[in-house]
């Protein structure tokens, strides 16, 4: 990569990186784990839920996450579930933006190194 191409590539990476950073700035609260909706069978042998999946009880909402490698679940009420669902969605979006920023940074490194080496060489040249 020649120095002009490196400058152009770096500039382009900076713009993409800034655009991603701006998207992060607009994201609301974030929450770990995931929220799921479940329909469950009860303990009564005569209840319709035992035979008919459409007659199962619910929905019941659960928030699940991993703590020290183990999956833990917590039951949530409707309003709580709705909020956390939104915040989990925000976190997933943030994670994907950060993954994209990592990719852009990796691309930027090659160009940034070429520029840094060029600047070092230039500063070491004897003065004429
Ligand atoms: Zn039942």
Q: Residue 125 contacts by C-beta under 8 Å, 6 or more apart in sequence?
A: none
pLDDT, tens digit, 9 for 90 and up, residues 23-79: 999 999 999 999 999 999 999 999 999 999 999 999 999 999 999 999 999 999 989
Distance from Cα 62 to the centre of ligand 1, integer Å: 19
Distance from Cα 56 to the centre of ligand 1, integer Å: 6
Distance from Cα 26 to the centre of ligand 1, integer Å: 44
pLDDT, tens digit, 9 for 90 and up, residues 70-123: 999 999 998 999 999 999 999 999 999 999 999 999 999 999 999 999 999 888
Distance from Cα 36 to the centre of ligand 1, integer Å: 20
- The secondary structure element, H or E, covering residue 80 is helix 78-124
Distance from Cα 3 to the centre of ligand 1, integer Å: 71
Q: Report residue 111 as tokens.
A: 């160009």
Distance from Cα 51 to the centre of ligand 1, integer Å: 9
Other residues' Cβ atoms within 10 Å of the Cβ of residue 113: 13
Predicted local confidence at residue 76, as pLDDT? 96
Distance from Cα 52 to the centre of ligand 1, integer Å: 10
Distance from Cα 59 to the centre of ligand 1, integer Å: 13
Checking 30-34 for CB contacts under 8 A at 24+ apart, the result is 30/87, 30/88, 30/90, 30/91, 30/94, 31/84, 31/87, 31/88, 31/90, 31/91, 32/65, 32/88, 32/91, 33/63, 33/64, 33/65, 33/66, 33/88, 34/63, 34/64, 34/65, 34/88
Report in angstroms the alpha-carbon separations of 7 from 27, 36, 100, 118. 31, 47, 21, 11
Q: Report residue 61 as tokens.
A: 């909402």
Q: Report residue 109 as tokens.
A: 């490194």
Its pTM stands at 0.79
């Amino acid at each position: 990569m020649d120095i002009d191409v490196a400058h152009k590539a770096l500039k382009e990476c900076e713009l993409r990186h800034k655009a991603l950073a701006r998207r992060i700035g607009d994201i609301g609260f974030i929450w770990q784990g995931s929220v799921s909706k479940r329909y469950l069978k009860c303990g009564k042998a005569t209840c319709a839920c035992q035979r008919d999946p459409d007659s199962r009880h619910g929905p019941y909402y659960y928030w699940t996450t991993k703590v020290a490698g183990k999956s833990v679940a917590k039951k949530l009420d409707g309003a709580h579930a709705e909020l956390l669902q939104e915040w989990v969605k925000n976190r997933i979006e943030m994670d994907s933006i950060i993954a994209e920023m990592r990719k852009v940074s990796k691309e930027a490194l090659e160009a940034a190194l070429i520029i840094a080496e060029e600047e070092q060489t230039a500063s070491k040249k004897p003065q004429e």
